[in-house]
Amino acid sequence: SMYVRSKKRSRPAPRRRLTRPFPGYHWNRRDPEGSYRYNEQLLRSGRLMLSPQQVKGHLARLQHMRDKQLARHKRLRNRADFLENSRPALAQTHARTYTVDNNISALHPKTIVEEFDMPMPSPVVPVVRANRAAFVG
């Protein structure tokens, strides 16, 4: 009717181009630390004519990227670590549980005790596993 506003037809959004955050920026995922230092030097050099706030914003984002990638590298290293180093053995718990009289509290008259001991760690069986990069599937 008269008061129903028709929806305007929207134009398709222009394709988003990937632009680098500042001229001269580049990032090598294999060397996050070096890449960060390179970009930091460039940002602090003053050749880009950016305001201190802009520089600070770029640096914060680059630091975050560097830290995430370093954490990921560390995780991957630690995950592959047990291939040459034996896993820490967990304490084997017995099924032997029994209750002990607890004469401190009337609300909890019994305390459940579970026995466990640390057995000698079992011999490690090396797991032969192909490199993840070699897998094609």
Is 63:27 a contact under the CB 8 Å cutoff?
no
Structure tokens at 97: 């549980």
pLDDT at 52 over 80: yes
**Whether the predicted pLDDT of 74 surpasses 70:** yes
Highest mean pLDDT among 4-18, 61-75, 101-115: 61-75
pLDDT higher than threshold 80 for residue 57: yes
Task: Please give the residue that has the higher pLDDT: either 84 or 62.
Answer: 62
* Distance of alpha carbon 95 from alpha carbon 98, whole angstroms: 10
For 90-123, write each residue's pLDDT tens digit: 666 656 666 666 666 666 666 666 666 667 777 7
Check residue 93 and give its pLDDT. Answer: 61
Residue 36: CB atoms within 10 A of its CB come to 19
How many other C-beta atoms can be found within 10 angstroms of the C-beta atom of residue 32?
21
- The pLDDT of residue 80 is 80
- Which band of pLDDT confidence, cut at 50, 70 and 90, is reported for residue 51? very high
> What pLDDT score was predicted for residue 15?
79
Where on the phi/psi map is residue 95: left (φ > 0), alpha (ψ -120 to 50), or beta? Answer: alpha
Q: How confident is the model at residue 3 (pLDDT cuts 50, 70, 90)?
A: confident
CB–CB of 91/118 below 8 Å?
yes
The DSSP code for 21 is S
The answer to whether 59 and 22 are in contact (CB under 8 A) is no
Burial (Cβ within 10 Å: 0-12, 13-18, ≥19) of residue 97: exposed
User: What does the pLDDT read at residue 123?
Assistant: 79
Q: What is the rounded (10 degree) CA torsion for 69, 70, 72, 77?
A: 140
Mean pLDDT, the chain, whole residue set: 81
